[in-house]
A and B are shown apart, each in its own frame.
Chain A
Amino acid sequence: MNDVAVIGFASSATSVTTSGVETLVPVFEAALGQAGLERRDVDFWCSGSSDYLAGRAFSFVNAVDAIGAVPPIAESHVEMDAAWALYEAYIKILAGEASTALVYGFGKGTAGELNRVLALQLDPYTVAPLWPDAISVAALQARLGLDAGLFSERDMAAVAVAREDASSVEALLDRPYLRVPLREHDVARVADGAAAVVLAAGDRVGGRRAAWISGIGHRVDPQGFGERDLTAVPSASAAAADAGGLDDVQVAALHAPFTHQDLLLRRALGLSPEVRGVAFGSDPMFSAGLSRIGAAAGEVMSGRASVAVAHATAGPLLQQNLVCKLRSVA
């Protein structure tokens, strides 16, 4: 079986158009430039995006323009964060069907009313028809954690301070609730964005800087809010075990759209306080998780860490979780 490594990463914090095509062209160029590959060297392209962000059907097909698909390319798409597209590409390389891949995620989160659109990922029979907004639903989870004594509102604010590096915990706690017990700082900013990661099989890495994927796993918890303990994240724990365990990790790039979810994830993943976090202030839907993998790979490729973990989440209230462990040596 092939070893697989991340050899390139780039991202953008903007997206002018709803389709995002023009944003992807320079992101691809930058990621391939870092990887030292040409467009035609890519065996497999895989993306993550959603029509519900763009408000039109088959929106991901537009994005293929940014690849240059003549002559025909091998391409696939997931209607999830592109971290799951990376999983597909990783399997493809493991299986020997490709030796290089470019994975990308994109979305203009500000094009619609994301907080409302996300109701449509809830149970379509008994929950979505009520149109609960995403922040309110997250607030229900936060209160369960607070009532159970797992963390305090002060702990949540401390996550925000570390993330934004801007204010004090006290100043944040003086602010009004957005949806009690969540305040504005507890909610990652809705953002536009795009990201691309370049993967290569071991024999294609050559002398390039690389972050080797030593383990990756993804799991899902039941959809019904009443069907799981919303303060545990069993699928994250299971994904971490699938990825080979996180005992030796030095740095973690977690995808937590809400501060209380950062705290729940650290518990579920068993991360000690010594594990350094990579801070992200915004949540660009469909590229945020992939960007965590890119950031964790960057920690390894730069030599700041020899073992790093990236995490991505999808669905409501940390329902689906992907854990990717990266090392400086194969």
Chain B
Amino acid sequence: MDTLSAPLTIAFDYTRSLGPVLGRFMAGLRERRVLGGRTSDGRVRVPPLEYDPDTHEPVTDFVEVSPTGTVLSWTWTDRLLEGQPLDRPFGWALIRLDGADTPLLHAVDAGTAEAMNTGMRVRIRWAASPVGHIRDIACFEPEPVGLPPLSHGRCDSGGSPTGTSDGDGGAAAAPPVTIMTTPIRLHYRHSTSVEESGYLRALAEGRITGRRCPVCRKVYVPPRVCPACGVATDEEVEVADRGTVTTFCVVNVPFAGQRLTPPYVVAQVLLDGADIPIPHLVLGVPAAEVRMGLRVTAVWRDRADWSTTPENIDHFEPSGEADAPYETFAEHL
């Protein structure tokens, strides 16, 4: 059987606090200056290290290096990926800035691979509005040799990296950047198992199915490898769209993306015929009246809106039956 899959994108802002060393480094970038850190061996490292690798002491000796440097190694990419510094084919290079002893990795806007070579001279192209982030270096470009500078291509910001400082940004001595934020977006294709696909296709027909473990005979909804026995569940079982609240919580706390107005109830519902409860909303009853043992029934969305998703069930509501005795669901808490 074909298994179902769907695109999945996860996105978040990677927010990192900077210590005194990287905070100074990023503050330097905001002023269009590159600061290296001198370690006890006399070497100037760019980017600076936070701690000396030999003495393990904090690095405190900052040295401004040149915005020009030499390519130590390079490659060329014409398969651009989301978030990269340039929106046209470019080189990646290890670049040792003049005055530094270690190279850093960055992009070189050289136009063509043929314009790249080991030993080539490059210089920083600064972002239009530096914020205290590594992306303040928009990219590098070949250092002109008696030629006018290259036209400036658009540098794709890949979201909006930001840097934040404590205190007054207008002060004479720029304070270290304290926080840097990098937007992250990752794309996947999420793939379900044969068993999960069967469950989702049944939902599209308004049915709820699970699978029975061949060893312990428990029925799992949604179907999964039996977590008690470690074996695939083989027998498909249709269960009811009504069941018993085994336990529940009253949501009183607002949060980003919340669809309902608190207070409302999220409950574990043990469907008749299943051995494991599913979490769902219990609506149509005051939160204070929801209780363990409450009998509930599924409220399906309009059939025209059904697809291969548990969201076909909008919520559960009381069925009007007498409460289930505790003994009937005690095993499933």
Contacts and interface: CB of A to CB of B under 8 A. Distances in A.
Interface stretch (B144-152, B181-189, B248-256): B181-189
Contacts of B75: 136, 139-140, 143, 179-182
A230 B46 CA distance: 16
A108 B191 contact: yes
Contact of B73 (A124, A147, A224): A147
Contacts of A182: 75
Contacts of A123: 47
Instruction: Please give me the 10 A-B residue pairs with the lowest Cβ-Cβ distance, nearest first.
Output: A68-B230, A226-B102, A139-B75, A70-B228, A55-B188, A131-B83, A112-B188, A65-B227, A65-B225, A129-B182
Given A131-B84, A140-B92, A140-B105, A224 B49 contact: yes
A112 B191 contact: no
Nearest to B100: A226
A116 B81 contact: yes
Interface in B165-195: 180, 182, 184, 186-195
A17 interface: yes
28 contacts: A17-B193, A21-B225, A22-B225, A25-B231, A55-B186, A56-B8, A56-B10, A65-B230, A68-B229, A69-B228, A70-B228, A112-B187, A125-B26, A126-B47, A126-B104, A130-B85, A130-B106, A130-B107, A133-B81, A136-B75, A136-B92, A139-B92, A140-B73, A140-B92, A143-B74, A147-B73, A224-B49, A226-B103
A226 B104 contact: yes
By size class, the interface of chain B is 35 or more
A222 to B, nearest CB: 7
Contacts of A225: 94, 103-105
Contacts, number: 175
A247 interface: no
Contacts of B16: 124-125
Contacts of B187: 112-113
Main secondary structure of the interface of B (DSSP, over half): mixed
B190 A18 contact: yes
Interface in B60-101: 72-77, 79, 81-85, 92-94, 96
B133 interface: yes
Given A137-B105, A225-B105, A126 B196 contact: no
Given A125-B47, A180-B113, A112 B186 contact: yes
A18 B191 contact: yes
Interface of B: 3, 8, 10, 14, 16, 18, 22, 25-26, 45-47, 49, 53, 72-77, 79, 81-85, 92-94, 96, 102-107, 113, 118, 133-135, 158, 161, 180, 182, 184, 186-196, 224-232
Contacts of A106: none
A55 B186 CA distance: 8
Interface string A222-240: 1011110010000000000
B63 to A, nearest CB: 15
Interface of A: 16-19, 21-22, 25, 28, 39, 52, 54-56, 64-70, 108, 111-113, 115-117, 120, 123-133, 136-137, 139-141, 143-144, 147, 177, 179-182, 222, 224-227, 230
A16 B5 CA distance: 10
Given A16-B191, A124-B14, A227-B45, 16 more contacts: A22-B193, A25-B232, A52-B186, A55-B186, A65-B225, A66-B230, A70-B228, A130-B107, A130-B135, A131-B82, A136-B92, A143-B74, A181-B75, A222-B53, A226-B46, A226-B94
Contacts of A179: 75-77
A111 B134 contact: no
B275 to A, nearest CB: 13
Given A25-B232, A65-B227, A222-B53, A143 B118 contact: yes
A180 B102 contact: no
Nearest to A222: B53
Contact of A140 (B10, B18, B94): B94
Contacts of A16: 3, 191, 193-194
B71 to A, nearest CB: 10
A16 B45 CA distance: 46
B227 A144 contact: no
Contacts of A124: 14, 16, 182
A169 B216 CA distance: 56
A202 to B, nearest CB: 27
A88 to B, nearest CB: 21
A137 B194 CA distance: 38
A21 B226 CA distance: 10
A191 to B, nearest CB: 15
B76 A224 contact: no
A126 B84 CA distance: 13
Contact of A21 (B81, B103, B118, B193): B193
B81 A131 contact: yes
A225 B225 CA distance: 43
Contact of A224 (B18, B47, B231): B47
A207 B115 CA distance: 65
Given A66-B230, A129-B134, A224-B49, A137 B92 contact: yes
Nearest to B215: A68
A211 B192 CA distance: 37
